[in-house]
Copies of this chain bind each other. A is one copy, B any other.
């Protein structure tokens, strides 16, 4: 069995572990059980016809006396590239629009209020090639590009907030950015959030194409809650999650593109740790499949023509440390998750990390630590 073929951790545990051990294992690995969400049969049928996985779960919160429940549904979409990477660019983009269109239609049937796609979803993850052409041609205006217009139509049609991570071209200066465009359910572009931390690892030296983002830690107040977008490599940086939370984020999306033996065991850890530490929900989305068709030999140690297997496994983590099972490691999928956003404050009232965090002291310490004359606090004998 190759790592590309192994379908799902959760399925394997459920197939082989007897009770009562299975219950204990799931409790320790995944926290409080996440209940299945009943989805309409028409949606289940449509997903099956369109050949993608559809899963639904719900996180519950205690009913409070003074606040009504704040139940909303998010949709996470992971998918393969549709056409070979050497197909005409316009065909590749249109193919991806069509695929996402039919998946979002099912999300709408499932009552999704906020949908988020994977990192740079309109294109192959071509940054491994280090070639500028033709890949930079996939870049579009965040405000006025075809993909944003396409998402605005989806948003209006389905009354859905759409988080659309693309390769952005800012036309005024011809600068490229790795950017999530946030579109309100009214169809208006609410704003954009640029990737704050750029990897320089093996095939992933994306700084060939774009620099660290300049949009800080913007939070978007939507009709369905306050959301933020921590793109891909930013998930390795606890301060990045933290600062979105300090600005009020209730749900932080992490659209990603990640492969490999070092990355995969970190995947279930980082977004979930951020949900725990920041009393919020986090949504980790990874693309899926092997993008094989690159003509250039890639530059990591052994020359190769694909980028490794994107292992999917998108999931949602809750502030109580529980999480949904992951989507498949191998198939396109839509994960629909109902969450009562009241859970965030309930956990905060219980654990109080924001009150016990001593942030004023960290602000001082960090301010000293970044100075060139910083003297680390090291005691020697």
Contacts and interface: CB of A to CB of B under 8 A. Distances in A.
A17 B6 CA distance: 14
A353 B236 CA distance: 7
B276 A379 contact: no
Interface in A178-199: 184, 186, 188, 190-191, 196-199
Interface string A196-207: 111111100000
Contacts of A188: 381
Contacts of A172: none
Q: How many copies does the complex hold?
A: 2
A262 B366 contact: no
Interface residues of A, number: 89
Interface centre among A20, A212, A353, A356 (most CB of B within 10 A): A356
A352 to B, nearest CB: 6
A51 interface: no
A199 B356 CA distance: 7
Nearest to A6: B24
Interface in A343-381: 350-353, 355-360, 362-363, 365-367, 369-370, 376-381
Given A220-B379, A352-B200, A366-B362, A242 B239 contact: yes
A320 interface: yes
Nearest to A196: B358
A261 interface: yes
A256 B216 CA distance: 35
Given A27-B261, A265-B31, A219 B358 contact: no
A29 B216 CA distance: 33
A29 B9 contact: yes
Given A188-B381, A190-B379, A266-B276, A369 B358 contact: no
A200 B350 CA distance: 8
A296 interface: no
Contact of A273 (B243, B273, B351): B273
B21 A1 contact: yes
Contacts of A266: 31, 276, 321
A55 interface: no
Question: What are the 3 closest A-B residue pairs judged by CB atoms, nearest first?
Answer: A238-B238, A31-B265, A273-B273
